[in-house]
Structure 1
Amino acid sequence: MQNVRSCEVCGVTFFSQENLSRHRRVVHRILDEVAQNPTGNFRESCPVCHIRIKNVLDLLEHASEFHEFKGKVKHKEFLSFSEFERWKDELEQKHITSWVKRGVTGSEKAFYSYLRCNRSPNTKKRNRPPRRTAENSQERRHGSMSRVIMQGSCTSFLNVKRDLTSGVTSVEYCLEHFGHEKEPQKLRLPWPVKLEIAAMLKQDMPVAEVARILQIQYNDTRKRQHWVTTQDVKNVAANLKANPQMYERRRSTSPEPLFKTELDPLGASIVVEFFKEEPCSTLNSSDYRFIGKKLGPIRSTAPGADSVGSSMLDAFIKEEPVSTASSTGRKLSPIEAKRVCSDGVRMFSLAAMPDGKGFALVEQSSRKNAREDVS
């Protein structure tokens, strides 16, 4: 009896290899060398017809041509990687999706990362072959191992290129999804929500109670937070127990930060705050400027930063015309500072903003000046 060969895509049978090969090329556009080892040559799989496809761009082209799918590849550029991350977070919230990293490459000049929709399978090649059993041994003999269907891939992706010199980040992306609906309950749990869960677990709250509180707190059914389950809480609890320092290290800045610091070229910490000028200010005419002040405890960690950093700081801050230290540039002792303030010189202090977010310099007139104005 002549051997019957079947197409691994549609199941149509043929009595000759030549007819099967022609069918693959004409109907499915699959070459023979690819069809002989589809899993090793194709990383993607169409979620509709299950054809193996080389990459996500080919999948997008295939879906547009054969399945009337409308997806577009777009390009965007950002001045910094942090700006790109903010844009990505906004898109994930707006489009009810999550992009996860599937691969990275790099060179001396640029770093590349490849993000896919979280509904796409991880298509990394495995070095270990599948376990041989009596069932698949028979399939190997009849050449039907290729009929094993992979999980379908999604067309949504982000290909990110980060320039290591300038920090400019460019992204090639597709926002349209193929093969699945938008289901927020299947998204990955955002990191801020994990921090909330960890904080409640540290207070010894029951797992079920934590899940119930979050479901009530986030009543928007389009958000992943609303679909928090007890299993999500258990996963965070297990991670918190195994790696508690991660939740401290990756925690964002305190809700009410005292200072926002940066490092100058010498390694000394500089306090950086925005200061809005008052109408009577004698500073420059710009609406905003940076005010820099050294932090004493951190300043000592940079050898030689005290002397050199002071001169840099003096040049950075514009002195008030009425200041008695403008001619010498030296620092005033506590006694001298008190005497200058008592003579009616304008003085500023660092005060918290009304909304609790950040600090500003506020002019404070002495009581002596106030009495003189009244008289």
Structure 2
Amino acid sequence: MTGQKFLPLLAALALLPGGAARATLPPPPPPEYGAYGPLSICEGELSIAVRPDEAVHVVGSIFRVIGDHGVIAATPVVLPHLALSTGGGVARHGVFALKDMTLAFRYSGELPDGAARDAVHAREGFGEGGVRYAVQTRGNAASPDGMMAMLIVGSPAFDGSAADKAILERFRTNAAGASGCVRPADLARGTLDPGAAGFVQSFDNPYYAGLYPAAPDEGPGFHCAGGVGFAFHAGERLRRPWKSLTAGASYLMRGEAMVTLSGPQAPMQRSDPGDAREHPAGLLHETGLTFYPSRGVGPPYAPPGVREDGSWLVELGREKRSRLEIRFAAGDKAPLGFAVIERLEFVAPGDPRCGAPRH
């Protein structure tokens, strides 16, 4: 019914000069899939093994191997052979000879148009200004027209030093004729059944492998995000994104109570940088505390005969990118939410309690 209400409006917009309705509609997001390792991902003759503690995330033309320790992103491209072999080309910074004599060229060119659009949905790995490499995907040097099939590879861990070679060598030239090897292009084209290959689409599971590890963390532990952290205790479970990602909400659960924490994308800052004892809740005066009353009993808000919980929204920080939002149910479930606020503390970069760094 809601969609029918908007049909006259959409029809009117379509009649505006210059096709204004079409001009303002954003392109649809690319399909996203995720699967947990172990499995193999292939492109051309290259393969990379996804380990049991990792996942693969496919978003349009990009695939990423993700674990708590880091991210490796890749997308196929066809490049002129001369551009890779001349000092003024995309490989002007040097070449790595990997195993099986596979070559990886330092890449300073642009991403293909499709990958550039998809990278908006897969920021880690192909971030602006990051170090990238172009790796041969076929053993033969070049096609008759001088073009070479390559894989552009990026990672937040790349720094342009010889240490990058160890990450690049996870790609092996052993995919020709390999069975059980998933090719991301087949997923993007719709020629591979995702379920049969062990992949889940993001819309089908909010905790899908492209964003979350397979199981929540069991307390006791410590969770960090964007310059703040908090302890969680025995009997509590934390469902949080891969530590190498900057996206995604975290969920702390104890019994039937759940606290949702979103953000911050940029590190939160103390109001007084010189006050080491400042509590993050001191930023509450810069944003807000909102109570939402229950909307009623039964469907569509709650099961039949059950009153929907009211809820609290606590926002810490003035700037949107460095704001932490905490949501939790009111009533008898609220104590866990307020306890999390009290447990918050500012954490320094590299705090050992945070585990793997968040890129």
TM-score (norm 1): 0.21
Structure number with larger C-alpha Rg: 1
More strand by share: 2
More helix by share: 1
Q: Which has the higher contact order (CA 8 A, sep 6+)?
A: 2
